[in-house]
Amino acid sequence: MKTPFVPKRLLSLLSSTLVCLSAGSQAAQGADGLEVPLTSKRPALHSSPVALPWRDIRWPSLDYGRTPLPGGGALYTLQGGGGRKFRIEAVFEIGAYTLPQAQRPLLTAAMDLILLGGAGKRSFEEIRNHAHRNGIQIDTRLTTIGYLRISVSGLAEDFKVGLDLLEDMLLRPRFDRDALELWKQEQVDAFNALLDGSSSAKQARFLDQESARLVFGPDHYYTQALKRVSVRTIQAIENAQVIDVARKLVNRAGLTLVLSGTFSDADTKALLALGGRLPRKEPVAFTWMPPRPVLPSSDRSLGKSAPLRMTIIRKADMTQCNATLRWYFPNAGRMNEMERTRFALLTEIYSSSGGVVGNDRFSKALRADSGLSYSPRAQFDPEALEPNTNVALWRMNFQSANEKIGDAVVLARKTWDDFSTKGITAAELERARVSRMNMMMAREPTIFDKTDAFLDDLLARSVPHPLGLENSLLRLERETNVAALNEALFRLIGGNAIGSLVIMGNPTKEQVEKMKSAAGAELVRDVSFEELVRNLQQGKG
């Protein structure tokens, strides 16, 4: 039989793997020569990333132009070299916090029906077919603070087709009545599909709502998120209401237009002309904001455990639990660039997004060393309460078997307490710093990736940095002072904190007691998933 050809590179990799596995087997030998089960051991190929020479690279500047629109808007242009596509982003400032709370479902309907309701001489089906034939993509959505955002993209030679479709949507929307009924049916179908809770993504919607209930109370805007998409709410929407809200959306005052990719001077002038034809109404301002946490925060100082408020959602068909452990910090304050960089590094150390996964605190404790959790993940959000950006949040999500969830929660709590009271080490900082720098260099952002970051800066009311990636790498390179990062962490943790723990599944009585005693959790609510679903079907929050 002929021996198959194996490349030398592959043989080298296989040899290295065998050496690592052999070393791992030797490590599993006890002092008496007996083999020890590898319950918490795993071969480690690399413990630290190797720093890449980012200073040897010539980083391009982010060159953009700004042309004001009469009435308070502006067009920003970002020319991309070598590509064949264009993209238009139009952001209108009216949104969730500039309309009465009761109109929030109408905002979603108006956003969708600007496109789905037809525009100009075309129905939605005709728009879709026309766009498909010309390779045009159109998307409408809301930003994190509820602004209407419309994206139009396609090949540069089809710019006029995309611009004409955008003009029809903004100036000549049809809002066909049958389109509203179709939209309602789609929303109702999506809502009913959510109610079976058959996936982690669906379960996460209920975990989010119950976490908000524990921290903000049952009547808070965030706690009513699922109620706003319930069947009763959707079915009550009328076409006249949608049209009234939609007319408020299109406003040249405060309009942000971004044109990126490949385009001509004539394309720029045409988009400017469209912006000038949009109606100029009164400037948009926030008329309300989500209330801050209404429950008294715990008086937590470093080294002193704070109590957790806990809800258990019983779901009979689950053999494992889905859990979220969260700490809210109402007095975090708005963070500057330096603080954001430091908390990005702290997050990487606590729960890595890549590079040194498995060496971070959270996944190493809950998955690698203990095997208690299947998919632990933690994340820091410096602006958890929009647009009140001085409320921060540490979020920890994980799954574990029903008969082990208490042990997993206790370990998660211990891992968090060790991190938040003892801080990080210099070795952890170095690994995280180099890892994040390498990941940023490896991504090679396109002009459209840069457009997204550019637009994020504009919406956050900060001036985009012309050096972009290079500036971020430089900030990371200079964050070598571990004491400064620990001080930032302790300052956040040392203030008031509100902890919440929500479990969906079937934890045993023994495991519940472990969570209450060892993890310091106070059981506030023990409710069945069926009751939550029934309440939503009846129009309750």
Q: How far apart are CA 340 and CA 292, in angstroms?
A: 22
SS3 assignment, position 442: helix
Condensed to tens digits (0 to 9), the pLDDT of residues 474-511 reads 999 999 999 999 999 999 987 678 899 999 999 999 99
Q: Please, what is the average pLDDT of the chain?
A: 86
pLDDT confidence band for 191 (50 / 70 / 90)? very high
Pull the structure tokens for residue 538.
Answer: 């009846």
Backbone angles phi, psi at 452, to 5 degrees: -60, -45
Q: Considering only CA atoms, which of 374, 412, 387 is closest in space to residue 515? A: 412
Does residue 213 carry a pLDDT above 50?
A: yes
Does residue 244 carry a pLDDT above 70?
A: yes
Q: How far apart are CA 541 and CA 535, in angstroms?
A: 7
pLDDT confidence band for 50 (50 / 70 / 90)? confident
Helices marked H in 383-446: 405-422, 426-443
How much is the pLDDT for 507? Answer: 96
Contact 392, 384 (CB under 8 A): yes
Does residue 9 carry a pLDDT above 50?
A: no
Q: How far apart are CA 201 and CA 43, in angstroms?
A: 32
Does residue 11 carry a pLDDT above 60?
A: no
How much is the pLDDT for 3? Answer: 38
Distance between first and last Cα of the chain: 71
How much is the pLDDT for 296? Answer: 56
How much is the pLDDT for 304? Answer: 47
How much is the pLDDT for 26? Answer: 37
Query: Percent of the chain beyond pLDDT 90?
Result: 64
pLDDT confidence band for 32 (50 / 70 / 90)? very low
Q: Regarding beta strands 320-329 and 137-142, do their DSSP bridges make them parallel or antiparallel, or are they unpaired?
A: unpaired
Least confident residue range of 55-69, 413-427, 521-535: 55-69
How much is the pLDDT for 338? Answer: 93
Does residue 521 carry a pLDDT above 80?
A: yes
How much is the pLDDT for 188? Answer: 96
Least confident residue range of 129-143, 205-219, 290-304: 290-304
How much is the pLDDT for 10? Answer: 33
Q: Regarding beta strands 308-314 and 521-528, do their DSSP bridges make them parallel or antiparallel, or are they unpaired?
A: parallel
- Find the mean pLDDT for residues 426-455: 88
Least confident residue range of 296-305, 449-458, 504-513, 522-531: 296-305
Q: How far apart are CA 383 and CA 339, in angstroms?
A: 13
Does residue 448 carry a pLDDT above 60?
A: yes
- Find the mean pLDDT for residues 54-73: 87
317-to-196, 321, 403 alpha-carbon distances in Å: 11, 11, 14
- Find the mean pLDDT for residues 397-403: 96
